[in-house]
Homo-oligomer: A and B are copies of this chain.
Amino acid sequence: MTTIRERIAARQLTPGARLPSVRQAARSMGVSVSTVVEAYERLAAEGVIKSRPGSGFYVSAPLAPLALGKIGPRLDREVDPLWMSRQSLEAGEEMLRPGCGWLPAEWMPEAALRRALKAVARGSAASLTDYSEPLGLAPLRGFIARRLGERDIPAAPDQILLTGSGTQAIDLVCRFLIEPGDTVLIDDPCYFNFRALLQAHRADIVGVPMTPNGPDLEIFAQSLAQKRPRLYLTNAAVHNPTGAAISSTTAHRLMALAEPAGLIIVEDDIFADFETAPTPRLAAFDGLRNVIQIGSFSKTLSAAARCGYIAARPDWIEQIADIGLATQFGSPRLSAEIALTLLKDGGYRRHLEALRARLAGARTATIRRLEALGITPFVEPKAGMFVWARLPDEADASQIARLCLAEGIVLAPGNAFSLGQTARDYLRFNVSQSDDPRIYDSLSRALQASAPPMRAAG
């Protein structure tokens, strides 16, 4: 009992962690099995640990399903998804952030936002003070439905549920669909926060390797047959981190595999508005039957006045709305009013046109500068802010990230995005945050410093 207590106090056993089996514990401590059984039972009676029938004993109180984020000192945590989020959010003004996942403030539609806020400030009292209706502001849902229609996704306004953000939208869908222990497929690599989010739902996560045209269909089919996943969470169109877009062939074959298996697909399309030319959407192939689509204005309009949405079958939307009422009491109305104002006056569309051109220029420039250092893109993305690029000479991206962080530059090392830890020599670059020459100077120095002596000498 004392040993277990000490290990919990020292955080060698963190809350939620599984204890060694009775047999293992008896062997490692050199005591009898019955001694361990008695110790475990006493600790369980005290509430220090908990038994889960058929599964063993776990450290209780307080539960920390995300305890992953707590392990190890900061500088050794570059590939922890939560550490990645905090690094970007907490970086000071003076830091450069080629690794972060959003546009700089000066790339956002500042003037249009100021106008929209002033317009809302002059609007109805209800829009300033009242709750939203359960599905969220009706005229904004109408706008979103029409925009989805333009992408061949047939959605009526009552198939749209507004949420506080794209992340919250995925979270609500997971609450509706996932039970602890359910298997969920994700792309490898994928947006790092998907893993943290799915961990919070205690899903079993299975990765499917990403190709330049979408997920690897052979492994996708194998995973379907062997793991019987509940759902597949993926990005539409502009994939994070690779910048790849699914091809029509891959999308069609993927849906042909998913349909008979009854697989539900959550297609996160929050980068849709970065697209210059239309690419396939699983939600369009499926007609919103077993595909749920997620959208957001956080990346292209404002991360301060956030607003996301879920598009799905009306009967699912109704039930997800109930979960939203129970756990959030609806969605933030003011952000929805601001988004609606911008969508109505055309300011948002003009901003997007300028933004896409600016991103295309920054993408070309970033790729040229990376290639000069021997860092090569996985694909040349057609849209969006990300370039997923491979370091030369199998350099360790975590080590490079650590060296550059010491020089005030926040990078995004590949394995933070990879469930299988197969992206050791990749970095994700945000081209809108990669203009400063100090980034490439620092990268160059870090590559030199991290090269093994033999090769450095060669």
Q: Are B129 and A164 in contact (CB under 8 A)?
A: no
A164 to nearest B CB, angstroms? Answer: 5
> What residues on B are CB-neighbors of A126 within 8 Å?
105, 304
> What residues on B are CB-neighbors of A66 within 8 Å?
319, 322-323, 326
Quick one: which of A300-344 are within 8 Å of B by CB?
302-306, 316, 319, 322-323, 325-330, 332-335, 337-338
Bound-state CA distance A106–B131 (Å) is: 14
Q: Are B228 and A200 in contact (CB under 8 A)?
A: no
> What residues on B are CB-neighbors of A228 within 8 Å?
47
Quick one: which of A35-86 are within 8 Å of B by CB?
47, 50, 53-54, 60-67, 69-70, 81-82, 85-86
Q: Are A125 and B102 in contact (CB under 8 A)?
A: no
Bound-state CA distance A63–B173 (Å) is: 10
Q: Are A108 and B125 in contact (CB under 8 A)?
A: yes
Q: Are A196 and B105 in contact (CB under 8 A)?
A: no
Quick one: which of A187-212 are within 8 Å of B by CB?
193, 196-197, 199-200
Bound-state CA distance A399–B65 (Å) is: 45
Across the two chains, which residue of chain B brings its CB closest to A173? B62
Which of A144-152, A174-182, A427-435, A437-445 forms contacts with chain B? Answer: A174-182
Which of A111-119, A237-245, A272-280, A390-398 forms contacts with chain B? Answer: A111-119
With A121-B117, A176-B64 already in contact, the answer to whether A134 and B332 are too (CB < 8 A) is no
Q: Are A327 and B167 in contact (CB under 8 A)?
A: yes
Report the count of interface residues on A (CB-CB < 8 A): 83
Q: Which of A61, A67, A328 has the most CB of B within 10 A?
A: A328
Quick one: which of A156-176 are within 8 Å of B by CB?
164-165, 167-168, 171, 175-176
With A66-B319, A319-B64, A332-B304 already in contact, the answer to whether A168 and B327 are too (CB < 8 A) is yes
A289 to nearest B CB, angstroms? Answer: 12
A90 touches B (CB below 8 Å): yes
A72 to nearest B CB, angstroms? Answer: 14
Q: Are A303 and B130 in contact (CB under 8 A)?
A: yes
> What residues on B are CB-neighbors of A199 within 8 Å?
326
> What residues on B are CB-neighbors of A326 within 8 Å?
66, 81-82, 193, 196-197, 199-200
With A62-B176, A114-B122, A175-B200 already in contact, the answer to whether A305 and B325 are too (CB < 8 A) is no
